[in-house]
Structure 1
Amino acid sequence: MADENNTGSIAAAVAPDADVKASAAKKKRSPRRRKAAAESGRAVSEAPAAKPRRYSEQERNEKLKLIETQVAEGKGTLRNAIKSAGISEQTYYQWKRTVKPVEHRAEKPLPAGEELADLVRLEEENQRLRKLLVEKLREENAELRKRLGLD
């Protein structure tokens, strides 16, 4: 049955409800306004992106030569020359990196018949010397294991 003497817990339970109602009335706020930066950021993202320009190899080489001549003649800095060519610095360095290896490959002549034979002999000698080194290292390793008593 109900305990009539236990009225303290009921009073404690009633008091928090009153606090909750009072605090709920205080927390009512109007919604926040959106910031102007957020609205402008969305407007930029909704605009269609410009289609990237593709340059042919000839156009790339012409622009690279133009930039190099401007810098060599002292007409301005590298950055200014790149901007005047109408490309970004990143694009310039990517193009320059792709052009360099091709130039280096063209400078190295392929080995002729005798040079190729010399190269083959050197590779065979290299393999023979490696085998000798492996045998010597194995012998030393076995000797050290024997001295340390690891076998």
Structure 2
Amino acid sequence: MADESNAAPVAATAATEAEVKAPTAKKQRSPRRPKAAAESVQASSKASAAKPRRYSEQEKSEKLKLIETQVTEGGTLKDAIKSAGISEQTYYHWKGAAKPAEPKGTKSTKPIPAGDELADLVQLEEENQRLRKQLAEKLRAENAELRKRLGLD
């Protein structure tokens, strides 16, 4: 009996849910723009916003010198870089490229020899070559003597 009394309201609820779940018309969207047109619009807006600038080597060195002078006069590095109109990353990139490439751990702080010192250096190089040849001849002679004693020849 309890089942019969509960059956009526359940049937009514099922009928109302069916009415609520009736399909509704979907909202229509506008079609997408073709990709080529969208890319050209984006490219033109980007080009006008920030066009990459290429600096010559002379301009780079001038800007680096300007920054160095501002820093030595007591200004901060960040302010000097901003006043030069470049980014910090660009500054460090240029600064690293301006230094000659040296192996890590070796610093050549030797001064370049003058004219007389250069002549002495050339003379020492010639003597070094002569002594190397003399040593090589002596070692060949010893090697040949040892081969004879061992009977390898």
* TM-score category, normalised to shorter length: 0.3 to 0.5
* Bigger Rg over Cα: 2
Question: TM-score under structure 2 normalisation?
Answer: 0.42
Q: Output the TM-score relative to the length of structure 1.
A: 0.42
- The structure with the greater share of residues assigned to helix is 1
